[in-house]
Structure 1
Amino acid sequence: MPRPVPPSEELTELDAEAVRTWCARALDALGRERAEIDAINVYPVADGDTGTNLYLTVAAAHEAVEAVCAAAGTAPDTAETVRAMAHGALLGARGNSGTILSQLLRGMAAVLALGGDGPHLARALAEAATAARRAVAHPVEGTILTVAASAAEGCAGGGDLAEVARNAYERARTALETTPGQLDALRRAGVVDAGGKGLVAVLGALAETVSGHAPPPAATAPYAPVLPVPAETCPDGEGPAYEVIYLLEADDAAVDLLRGRLDALGESLVVVGGDGLWNVHVHVDDAGAAVEAGIEAGRPHRVRITHFAATAPPAAAAEPARRAVVAVVPGEGLAGLCAEAGATTVLARPGEPPAGDALLDAVRRAHAREIVLLPNDTELRQAAVATAERARAEGIRVALIPTRAAVQGIAALAVHEPGRSFDEDVVAMTAAAGATRYAELAVAERRSFTSAGVCQAGDVLGLIEGDVAVIGQDLTETARTVLDRMLQAGGELVTLVVADDTPPGLADTLEAHVRRAHLAVDTTTYHAGAGAPPLLIGVE
């Protein structure tokens, strides 16, 4: 965890440890204010998720910083740390405000990588405000852009690190109070800008980190937030129907053309990033056309399409949305296991994807307004994306976690908590799945060329992360070799999923091998039943 800053300590340099503390405090601040920020979200779309999107964006930045600092040990490099912060935010950016915040952090990182004193921080804030405004196709005053520009202007005179941070926060706080006078949607609702309020929280965390003292809270007078925003201030049916976000690998020239195409398709266009990797955000009526434009520009991935009708806040208080998990599993035993954990399951044997609309039927069968979808197979990714899009069009809120193997789905399901907010639950499940490396043992049906050499019909293939890594003649020995290779990179828990037709005692033999050869590693075994691959392995 980041080191605490003693109340009396005032930093003169924003080093790597201070960046860690800033990210942690910003995440904590947004966590406290998230519900209020969501509630005052009326622009550009009154979908009530700005606070959540900002929280998830900063959570991704914080996670990236923690990973870099953990790898570096006792002396993390400041330049590498601030770049990790910006890159993590870019990869994890959510929504309009989260995407803009990621560009603000990227702009700051470009300068802070060169130095962390007061003048550098002032330059970093100026660069951030400029970069964010450039990223928005049609900048509007009274938004997070206005607050960012005011923060930069507030510290243009320079000073030491703490003075610059305090001045930036104070100017941002003042600018936030004036946003209702700049934007009619805010004035009618009687609220300040939601994205701007989130940025003030992030800058407040920075000021506290470098000064050692918490700054005064952001005032809301004369416009006090109304919780929830009255329904009459949230026009129904106005504006585009979908929010489309994706990461894009493309060169600068292709992105310039993409901006023009997307600007013609919709509104609220924000394209941030650089050096070949971009985060694209746009509101459109034709979500498919927005994705196709990305495909023509380069390689889009992590595509997220949200139907605004499914996310708009209700006019009156309602019961919490009922949530369900829909999981594709390769065997009847796993179907029973997942069902016991509360999931609706779809059975898919290896090489036989679910037929027709089986995935969509399962989503409907779950009778839930919130769905977490676990495809558990790389071959089902496109089918799962199409299912999620069709379900969203029916008013169902869907989060697709791109699990590539059943063991990743099991890990995600193990941390599923319906009592949490939807986004917190999805973040926790995604993290658990992503932290699980996977392998599979299969029997070759014919002579083939593989990444591990030529295999013959009947050979046992050990696939790690989808690639053939081991070719053997004996299932147990091949499994031992695969386990040893996977555990060379470390691990705390091994999950074994065995099919009915595996040799008797295979699981016991492998558990004993792990206990003997890899101390302090626990093992859990599940039975997949008939129809599953001989052995699935997960390492967390």
Structure 2
Amino acid sequence: MSADAGVLRRWLAASVAALAQERAHLDAINVFPIADSDTGTNMWLTLADGLQLVADLPADADDDRVCRAFARGALLGARGNSGVVVSQYLSGFLEAVTAGGGPSRLDGAALARCFAAASAAAYNALAAPVEGTMITVAAEAARAAGDAASADAKPADVALAAAGAAREAVGRTAQQLEAARQAGVVDAGALGLSLILDAMVEVLVGAEALASLPERVEPAAVRDGERPRVHHEHRGGGIYEVMFVSGNTDPDGSTADDAPGAGWGELAAQLAAIGDSVAVTGIRGLVQAHVHTDHPDDAVEIADTLGSSQILVRNIVAAHERPAHLPGVVALTRSPGIAAALSDTGAVVVVIPSLAGLTQRELLRAVRDASGTKVVVVSGDPELRAAASRIAEGSADPEVEVLRVQHEAQMVAAVAASALAGEDEDLADVMTAAAEACVPATSTGDALDEDVDRLLTPDTELVTLILPEGMPTSVADAVRLSATAVCPRAEVQVFEGRHTQAGIFIGVERSA
């Protein structure tokens, strides 16, 4: 690529800058796999997380360490389907760079092999690849790079050929991808990848070389700034997005072996059985998975079975419809069974099976996913809340407020109230008031009815039970009978929380 040892850092930084500049446009034309207005943001944040690990390296770190750090950071920080796929594309590219002896030793043929490896990696990350998307652009870029290399082209010429083919391929996605054709746009992920390859040309050849590339064609209305015909609604598949990481999540990852590819296929098949937009990727003992599903509990259970330390759940529709005036909400819980219900309010939910799973990277990632300005973090687990408070200290962008909630049932009440906050109300105050109005308790299966009886009054409106792992839902039958006798209008809601801590979490809410 270049004799300059800093070329990789400059290319990656230029890619992040290009995505940051165009992310609003990419978000606006995002229609596939669903129109949730986040492809540009997801790709930008994914690469930014990779670049952050590179920035943490010493200035004299060799190219191999730069490649490993970026690939690991991007995979840990991957957002959405587009983030997972682009992280795998770049991981495949960078692994091929190091296999070829580093950027200073790559000739045109070796650089073409990097494009081919990246294209294959992106394609293999998807359980059901769809043409007219990022993978199509990746394949066209690899083909053009190979053709150029066969003519003994220099690395700069190979990069120009790949970037030019990518630009032309982006224009064709407006007809290849049905969702894009109906909306009158090109595929957002495809355009994002083309910007990354443009950044390579800018670094290798110079910004002036971009003028020699074919014009990137978008439908006229979009190119002229008219709002795309995008209807931000759910198009089939699942309304819940579940992402999780398993394996060695240490940022360095230097002690981990390569993740077994055979295991990825089995995991992808499990996720494909319960949803779509499945992407599974991994490097050096680390696996990142993504699925859209209507069965979020099943997806979380799969993640939990793998020993995942980070499980993120989001209701795509609720998150998109959440009023713009409200700050974002991040809910941290050790009860995987309540994640879907919490996300139905528009909150970003992070399931943390063990305290060690709550890292600064994971919390800040959830915070950025929830809002770009202000976020309220809530957890009913005292240890998670304390850890979140330590991590959030000093965070100014976005502003983070951690609520002092004492119990899991109070967290459920607070998150439910967050969806009802008015435009003139302070969200943190609304959530705190709801938590304080919930009378909490913890019980066992044998003592549950007696413990709830002591809390019930005629003005009770809602009884919440969160059951631990292995506790049958039938334990709630006696509670329902008691509620019918004491407070017949009260609702009894039961969650199979599946937490491993001892005890049934109880919450009782009364009329004001």
How many Å separate the matches in 1 of 2:187 and 2:387?
43
Structure 2 counterpart of 1:164, one-letter code: V
Of residues 232, 238, 241, the one that matches 1:240 is 238
Q: Can you list the C-alpha shifts for 1:47-100, whole angstroms capped at 9, x where unaligned?
A: 1110110011100111111122x2xx4x32112211222111111111111100
Q: Alpha carbons of 1:398 and 1:266: their partners in 2 closer, same or farther (altered >3 Å)?
A: farther
**Corresponding residue of 1:261:** 270
- Identify the match of residue 78 of structure 2 among 68, 90, 93: 93
Change (3 A) 1:399 1:49: farther
Question: Which residue in the other structure is 1:457 paired with?
Answer: none
CA distance in 2, matches of 1:205, 1:106: 17
Q: CA deviation at 1:248?
A: 2.0
Aligned residues of 1:265 and 1:284 also touching (Cα < 8 A): yes
Alignment of 1:123-142 (within 5 A): 123-142=113-132
Q: Does 1:112 align with 2:97?
A: yes
Mapped contact 2:29–2:187 kept (Cα < 8 A): yes
Alpha-carbon spacing, 1:252–1:153, altered in 2? closer, same or farther (3 Å):
closer
Aligned length: 358
CA distance in structure 1 between the partners assigned to 2:61 and 2:203 by the alignment: 18
Distance 1:45 1:166, change over 3 A: same
Task: Tell me, yes or no, if structure 1 residue 271 matches structure 2 residue 248.
Answer: no
Aligned amino acid, residue 173 of structure 1: R
Alignment of 1:58-207 (within 5 A): 58-68=47-57, 70=58, 73=59, 75-113=60-98, 114-115=100-101, 116=103, 117=106, 118-156=108-146, 157-158=148-149, 159-207=153-201
Match of 1:291 among 300, 308, 311: 300
Do the aligned partners of 2:36 and 2:320 also contact (CA within 8 Å) in 1?
yes
Query: What SS is found at the alignment partner of 1:259?
Result: helix
Does the 8 Å contact 2:134/2:189 carry over to 1?
A: yes
- Indicate conservation of the 8 Å contact 2:43/2:79, yes or no: yes
How far apart in 1 are the matches of 2:347 and 2:327? 5
State the alpha-carbon separation in 2 of the partners of residues 92 and 64 from structure 1: 10
Tell me if structure 2 keeps the 8 A contact 1:271–1:280.
Answer: yes
Hey, what does 1:308 align to over in structure 2? 316
CA contact (8 A) 2:84 2:279 kept: yes
- Kindly provide the CA deviation profile for residues 342-393 of structure 1, in whole angstroms up to 9, marking residues without a partner as x: xxxxxxxxxxx9xxx9xx99x99xxx97779999x93997xx99xx9xxx9x
Which ranges of structure 2 fall in alignment gaps of 5 or more residues?
248-258, 403-512
**Which whole-Å CA distance do the structure 1 matches of 2:33 and 2:346 have between them?**
24
Letter in 2 for 1:33: E
Q: CA deviation at 1:213?
A: 2.0
Question: Could you tell me how far 1:166 is from its partner in structure 2?
Answer: 1.4
Distance 1:241 1:411, change over 3 A: closer
CA distance in 2, matches of 1:416, 1:300: 29
* Alpha-carbon distance in 2 for matches of 1:371, 1:262: 20
Q: Secondary structure at the match of 2:186?
A: coil
Supply the distance in 1 between the matched residues of 2:124 and 2:201 (Cα, whole angstroms). Answer: 26
Q: How does 1:335-414 map to 2 (within 5 A)?
A: 378=355, 406=386, 409=389, 412-414=392-394
CA offset at residue 404 of structure 1? 5.5
Contact 1:39 1:227 in 2 (8 A): no
Instruction: Write out aligned runs for 1:413-432 (5 A).
Output: 413-417=393-397
Question: Contact conserved, 2:29 with 2:185, CA < 8 A, in 1?
Answer: yes
What one-letter code is carried by the residue in structure 2 that aligns with 1:42? V
Shift of 1:254: 3.7
Identity %: 36
Whether 1:57 aligns to 2:65 is: no
Indicate the SS of the match to 2:85. Answer: helix
Q: Contact (CA 8 Å) 1:373, 1:398: kept in 2 or not?
A: no
Q: Which residue identity lines up with residue 271 of structure 1 in the other structure?
A: V
Could you tell me whether the CA contact under 8 Å between 1:374 and 1:409 is conserved in 2? no
Matched position secondary structure for 2:237: coil
CA distance in 1, matches of 2:69, 2:49: 10
1:460-499 aligned within 5 A: none
Give the aligned residue type for 1:24: A
Quote the offset at 1:101 in angstroms: 0.5
Aligned to 2:413: none
Q: Is 1:24 matched with 2:13?
A: yes
What is the TM-score of this pair, normalised by structure 2? 0.61
For residues 185 and 19 of structure 1, do their structure 2 counterparts lie closer, same or farther at Cα, with a shift above 3 Å needed? same
Which residue of the partner structure matches residue 327 of structure 2? 323
